[in-house]
Amino acid sequence: MKRIFTKITNRRNLLTGGAALAGGTALASFGVVRRPRAATFDSESTDPSNYVQTAMQSMGNHGEMVTIGDVGTDINGFDASDLLTDWETGQIEVGHDGRKTRTFQVEAEDREIEIAPGVTFPAWTFNGRVPGPTLRATEGERLRIVFRNSGSHPHSMHFHGIHGASMDGINGSGLIDPGEEFIYEFDAKPFGCHLYHCHAFPLRAHMHKGMYGTFIVDPDPEKHSENRGVALSRKLGTPENSTWQEFVMVMNAFDTNFDGENEFYAVNTVAHHYMKHPIKIDRDRPVRIYLVNVTEFDPINSFHLHANFFNYFDHGTTLTPTLQTVDTIMQCQAQRGILEFSFENHEAGKYMFHAHQSEFAELGWMAVFDVTGGAE
């Protein structure tokens, strides 16, 4: 997002003929004033620090710098807190040869969602939510994704994974018109933290309208004897995995006034949601985050953890970290990875995490872990 200072053309206002905010200081400009660069005026009664202090005094923990209000489930039908751990594991069938086939049902639909308190956005969704369902499978399984398009535009599901050309979700291979259905079929590989998104053109519009979701392929421990323990901890449903606190976080943003710049940033859609509803962390159990960046219009997004460091597995396709002991990583569009860390030796309390582009943070991508447990 460019510095918002530069005069933006409010496309919606142009469309509706409502650019009513022209000439902010026209009164001042009729004949008398140009903006002085240096403020050297007489400040006998106006010590600026007084103002700042007074204004600061009224601020709470994180100040008044936050969206006002709260997003409930009334409009969305989902709570952003639930999205963190809502794994969609589909239906499993075991074939004669013992091979598992996992079937997911996904439906594209138009739906208005509330992306910040009081601000609705006409989204295109997978299964009525943004981000779409977090599809989770295990390496080596046969996957069938039954995709129905109940939206108003042609849509597809393009998986970041390994598959044949006919299953790619582009024009001619699974891009379907409204009312149609398509079944994507391929093997779950490679293991890692991936994503899927609509690949209809214009891609930018379909992406930023909300058509994306996380696609996790857990490693098959049997195939990774050298790192079997790590693989077991990654595989959903194992005792090793259950000691972990796993969360999926999709870094996304919304351009509400169609000017090609985002007005709201978040993880999992709702600006500031995890600021107002901190994510509960048991400090004695390790934390794993499946982080995906689908932010449109801005080339990169980032994740910064306060007061702690983590190991990072880029794309999640390795069982040993690709980056060790870092507290900030950045991802380009569609890049994703796994973060692993622990608050084991930390005091209990609130630990922030946010994009370290201050602007993204201040426009909504700012959140808090509420670490509890252990002896004080």
Interacting residue ranges for other proteins, rule: CB under 8 A: 1, 3-5, 8, 10, 12-13, 16-18, 20-28, 30-36, 38-46, 48, 50-52, 54-56, 58-59, 64-69, 116-121, 254, 256-257, 259, 263, 271-272, 359, 362-364
CB of 105 to other proteins, least distance (A): 28
CB of 8 to other proteins, least distance (A): 7
CB of 188 to other proteins, least distance (A): 37
In terms of CB distance, is 38 or 94 closer to other proteins?
Answer: 38
Q: Are strands 300-305 and 349-354 parallel, antiparallel or unpaired?
A: antiparallel
CB of 133 to other proteins, least distance (A): 25
CB of 50 to other proteins, least distance (A): 7
In terms of CB distance, is 54 or 345 closer to other proteins?
Answer: 54
CB of 280 to other proteins, least distance (A): 24
In terms of CB distance, is 117 or 374 closer to other proteins?
Answer: 117
In terms of CB distance, is 39 or 165 closer to other proteins?
Answer: 39
Distance (Å, whole) CA 24 – CA 249: 40
Contacts of 42 (CB under 8 A, 6+ apart): none
In terms of CB distance, is 121 or 343 closer to other proteins?
Answer: 121
In terms of CB distance, is 121 or 215 closer to other proteins?
Answer: 121
Q: Are strands 192-197 and 158-159 parallel, antiparallel or unpaired?
A: antiparallel
In terms of CB distance, is 193 or 355 closer to other proteins?
Answer: 355
Buried/exposed code over 351-372 (b: 16+ C-beta within 10 A; e: otherwise) = bbbbbbbeebbebbbbbbbebe
CB of 216 to other proteins, least distance (A): 31
CB of 292 to other proteins, least distance (A): 23
In terms of CB distance, is 21 or 165 closer to other proteins?
Answer: 21
